[in-house]
A and B are shown apart, each in its own frame.
Chain A
Amino acid sequence: MRPFSYTRAQTVQAAVQALASDPQAVLLAGGTNLIDLMKYEVERPGAIIDINRLPLNFIDDLPDGGIRIGALVTNSSVAHDERVRTRYPLLASAILAGASPQLRNAATTGGNLVQRTRCYYFYDPATPCNKRQPGSGCAAIGGVNRIHAILGASDSCIAVHPSDMCVALAALGATIEVEGPAGRRDIAFSDFHRLPGDRPELDNTLQSGELVVAIRLEPNHFAVHHTYLKLRDRLSYAFALVSVAVAVELSNDRLVDVRVALGGVAHKPWRDRLVEAEFAGVVADEEAFQKLAERLLSGAKGHGGNHFKIPLAAKAIVRALKQATSGRLQDQAAKSVQ
């Protein structure tokens, strides 16, 4: 870790200004990711702008029946909020599948969105990594890559986004409110995280000086038929090898609206609306689920250590769809897969 300056921002505008005026500056929220990265010398900020005092710790009801969650609400507070639990149980479930209670108590909504990949090589400054040091190469290609991407990867980077919360937000179709030097704007969730392409150093579409203020969720009909299924190397406290968020609207055993988002498989939570649309009106049975899984994974490609994720993801998608359509939601406190 290197010496850095520390300022505590009192207003969103002040934070934006501080961030925009110093290319060496970063925002500090819960610190559960940033501080680790600083200790590993992956992040070497010259200035830390602590945003924990900003008035962004709120969960508000919206007039349309939706909800607005401030960037500083902790993961625990979101997961245990009564309104979230009843109206957006998929979000609560996904958060509870992640990390540990201690981490969730510290981690914030904004930090969770912007957290960085867990690729081993990204964490080790002695190895080539295009994300950490553009142009240096990608050590994961041809290296140890059992936790890496099977979808949407590029020749420059095969890392995955590690968040569980974001997989649920992708399925629910959240909107992200950001504020920057040019004022406020909304970003559709699917446009927030990026695929690596030839710019893997960019995880998301935040512009310089922009800060996440809140996320918004519309009212939906998914409170009954949804699930979050996470498969990992131990039963708790590990990042997803593959995870699936499913939200379904059913009518007479047919899929009216089906959303499937995948975690642990790509540089962003993976959703394919075209595939989802193909299944609108289809009878919700195992055959359909198999097909949907096949279609979603049609472009999947392994890199050696992670080939297994392709069949695993297919099985997980089918199981998650079964869970969601039967209303047998995955209980995150249960050890067995339901």
Chain B
Amino acid sequence: MPIQSKAVGLPLSRVEGPLKVTGGARYAAEYFQPGMLFGVVVPATIAAGQIASIDVSAAERFAGVVKIFTHENRPSTAYRDSKWKDQVALPGHPFRPLESDRILFDGQPVALVVAESFEAARDAATLVRVHYLPEESHTDLMRAIHTSYCPPIPRAKEMMPPPPRGNAQAAFDRATNRISADYRMDGEHHNPMELFATTVLLGDDGTLTIHDKTQGSQNSQDYVCNVFGLATETVVVRNAYVGGAFGQALRPKYQLFFAVMASLDLKRSMKVEMSRREMFYLTWRPSSFQTVSLAADREGHLQAIRHHAVHATSRYEDYQENVANWSGLAYRCDNVELSYEIVKLDVSTPGDMRAPGAATGVTALEAAMDELAYEVGIDPLELRLRNFVHRDQNQDKDLTSKALHACYREGAARFGWAGRSPEPGSMRDGVDLVGWGMATGLWEASMSPAEAKVQYCANGTVVVSAAASDIGTGTYTILGQIAAECFDLQIGDVTVRLGDSTLPKTGVEGGSWTAASSGSAVQAAAKAVIATLLKHAGELHNSPLARASADEVEVAEGRLVLEANHQVGVAISEIMATAGLSSIEESAEVGPDKALARKFAAYTHSAVFVEVKVDSELGVIRVTRVVSAVAAGRILNPKTARSQILGGIVMGLGMALHEEGMIDHRTGRIVNHNLAEYHIPAHADVEDLQVIFVDEDDDKASPIGVKGLGEIGIVGVAAAISNAIFHATGKRVRSFPITIDKILESEIRQ
């Protein structure tokens, strides 16, 4: 690798940025074809029960309507559940749109109206009359909590709590300093800018070209082929641009099913786009209830940790995430007992939402750690330092790296943590109470199987391709940077093609693993190209590289040279001309290193420091400053990386103060299903955010030293904010979001 990279590590702007801001980047709903049809869904208005009858006659008569699909006339599809299970399906029965007259959740699609125009479909949809036989619905987690259970089929082994270690109960009972607290979180709803949409373009030969909003084109392709019994060659799925996803688009959504179903049935191209309201009925961060008990000795050394986590799931699938295990991992402690259960409610299946599990569980743990710091009487940061652990005690493994000390140190210095006065309510700015709080963040650094293809052209340009998805994170850019680095080129010399099921196989874009996985695959493919170049170079007459091995050479300034001595080498143009090649193309596949994984565990870490100001009389909360120091291995692009963390912080701010799906539990229906009443932070809520990336060398987490950044930014933020609110006001609000009414109520209680 060249020492002085022209690409990797530079704060380059996103290569597709100009396209996005000029409207040139087309999203799934932005493909048109003359004669195509449009579908609009009719959502159910009860949460549990049965459809007694559906009257579509008025809607059918509406000008432009072509067909109305209901459970009574839905074309037949795959019978077995296995056919409906996508790559990241959950234990249980996958939802099948229009399968029967049963209503399982509020907003469930009960009809698809297909018309010659979107407007006609939308207007006719309001004329569909559904007569329901409602049954009593249960949507309140707290009222159903006694029905919680351990998921009988784990979504993944790692998500299950490890067996207890030591004796947490006994150690807790013995300890001098103890806290035990309950934390509640309301459900949160994904609201990326781009709505779920699918456009199906029907070819003359019957093939389907599908533009889908998804985090995995091949996952959508498999799903469509399985459900509708189509041959893989006849279905292409594209997701060139994705307008935000954060986990919501990991699993295929019903608009994909509907668009394909109607297209096949009517033999026309189709488009189905959801409304903002429909976005609230899918893949949400489940409401949760957690109890965390911590005990420490007088110096603050943890003696016992108990963490019990419960969250909601649907009647038909067991959604699971890793909520509690972080508590056995974050700090040194020999007596740990973790438990995790779920509760069936009359809701749609929850799903992954940025840092699923950690955003919930670490918030409770880190809020509890703050409570413990006050109980012991030491600084919250000091408490974390005293319990620092450089080992995964849950799995009894070494860590690939953990530069969290540096996060604490650099974050605290930038924030000015040393100037904190510990007493709650002791810092003021006029009528505002000032609070400083902090929290640790952690997330797993994983790799998933990924392939990539690299094509080196004789004119010195490179094409990279993979079926990976860029959900707005900068994947196009960083993959281009990696290829540019391998061939000592500028990023402008590299074209990156993503988001197409015909490209080299890549799993869904999630878990913060894309940079590490696809990035490593691109590097491996580039190395394969270089090996091929070397082979041809060796065939040259009097080749100076005849004896060189692949790991001794690299590309510099258009020449294949010895790494140790750039004077020795051959121009690539000469190699290719002599071999009669206009381009060289190689593929590579990477995946988790199983041998390494047996010995090492890999995590990203962060330290989040927050300043809040709380109006002492009115309880108005402002987050005035956030410093997030992150250790995530090698940073490929400080600009896109920083944007990821900034976005995570803002989402954490929403989790702490704003986001709340409100359900009328009498009917089980979500009432605030629009962006006027479901609050996310506005610009005014976002003040001074600072991101630090600390140095962290990691040669094991992934071949390119990258750990991934997609989720770590949100973890710990809500806890740090709630801790800062306590420091400002002396009030512990253990229910998220912390809205002004809860601040007032805690005052009345005290």
Contact = CB atoms under 8 A, between A and B. Distances in A.
B123 interface: yes
Contacts of A315: 617-618
Interface residues of A, number: 36
B744 A335 contact: no
Interface stretch (A69-77, A174-182, A202-210, A230-238): A230-238
Interface in A313-338: 315-316, 318-319, 335-337
A1 B684 contact: no
Interface in A264-311: 308, 311
Contact of A319 (B618, B663, B677, B684): B618
A238 B662 CA distance: 16
Contacts of B672: 120, 144
B615 to A, nearest CB: 5
Contact of A336 (B615, B657, B669, B741): B615
Interface string B159-172: 00000000000000
Contacts of A235: 622, 682, 684-685
Contacts of A127: 667, 669
Nearest to A123: B674
B150 interface: no
A337 B620 contact: yes
B658 interface: yes
A197 B687 CA distance: 44
A254 interface: no
Interface in A220-236: 231, 233-236
Contact of B679 (A41, A118, A142, A234): A234
Nearest to A309: B741
B671 A120 contact: yes
A146 interface: yes
A129 B432 CA distance: 41
B671 A337 contact: no
Interface string B86-128: 0000000000000000000000000000000001001100100
A261 to B, nearest CB: 18
Contacts of A120: 662, 671-672, 677
A144 B664 contact: yes
A147 to B, nearest CB: 8
Nearest to B743: A308
Contacts of A236: 682-685
B66 to A, nearest CB: 18
Contacts of B740: 231, 233, 241, 308, 312
A26 to B, nearest CB: 17
Contacts of A126: 45, 669
Contacts of B685: 234-236
A3 B685 CA distance: 40
Contacts of B431: 337
B744 A312 contact: yes
Contacts of B432: 336
Interface in A158-175: none
Interface in A81-110: none
Given A237-B682, A308-B741, A311-B744, A143 B617 contact: no
A314 B45 CA distance: 38
B595 interface: no
B538 interface: no
Contacts of A316: 618
Contacts of B615: 336-337
B681 A234 contact: yes
A4 to B, nearest CB: 11
Given A118-B676, A144-B671, A237 B664 contact: no
Contact of B622 (A147, A231, A237, A335): A335
B151 to A, nearest CB: 30
Given A144-B664, A319-B618, A335-B622, A234 B671 contact: no
A234 B664 contact: no
Contact of B658 (A139, A234, A336): A234
B666 interface: yes
A290 B42 CA distance: 51
A330 B669 CA distance: 38
Contact of B618 (A3, A231, A335): A231
B739 interface: yes
A124 interface: yes
A118 B678 CA distance: 13
B551 interface: no
B193 interface: no
A121 interface: yes
B122 A234 contact: no
A127 B667 CA distance: 10
Nearest to A338: B431
B745 interface: yes
Contacts of A231: 618, 620, 740
A218 to B, nearest CB: 32
Interface string A32-62: 0000000001000000000000000000000
A308 B615 CA distance: 16
Contacts of B666: 142-143
B618 A2 contact: no
Contact of A308 (B119, B126, B671, B745): B745
B564 interface: no
B731 interface: no
Contacts of B741: 146, 308, 312
Most buried by A among B657, B663, B676: B676
A234 B657 contact: yes
Contacts of A337: 431, 615, 618, 620
Contacts of A311: 744, 748
Nearest to A241: B740
Nearest to B124: A2
Interface string A137-165: 00100111011000000000000000000
B276 to A, nearest CB: 10
Nearest to B106: A126
A124 B122 CA distance: 16
Contact of A1 (B122, B657, B745): B122
Given A2-B123, A41-B126, A238 B679 contact: yes
A234 B686 CA distance: 10
A234 to B, nearest CB: 5
Contacts of A147: 677
Given A120-B671, A120-B672, A241-B740, A319 B617 contact: yes
Interface string B593-630: 00000000000000000000101011110100000000
Given A1-B122, A2-B123, A231-B618, 10 more contacts: A118-B676, A124-B669, A144-B663, A238-B679, A312-B740, A315-B617, A336-B432, A336-B613, A337-B615, A337-B618
23 contacts: A1-B126, A2-B126, A3-B123, A126-B669, A142-B666, A143-B671, A144-B663, A144-B671, A147-B677, A234-B657, A234-B679, A234-B681, A235-B622, A235-B685, A236-B682, A237-B682, A308-B741, A308-B745, A312-B744, A319-B618, A335-B684, A336-B432, A337-B431
- Give the 8 A-B residue pairs with the shortest CB-CB distance, closest first: A126-B45, A236-B684, A308-B741, A235-B684, A120-B671, A237-B682, A236-B682, A143-B664
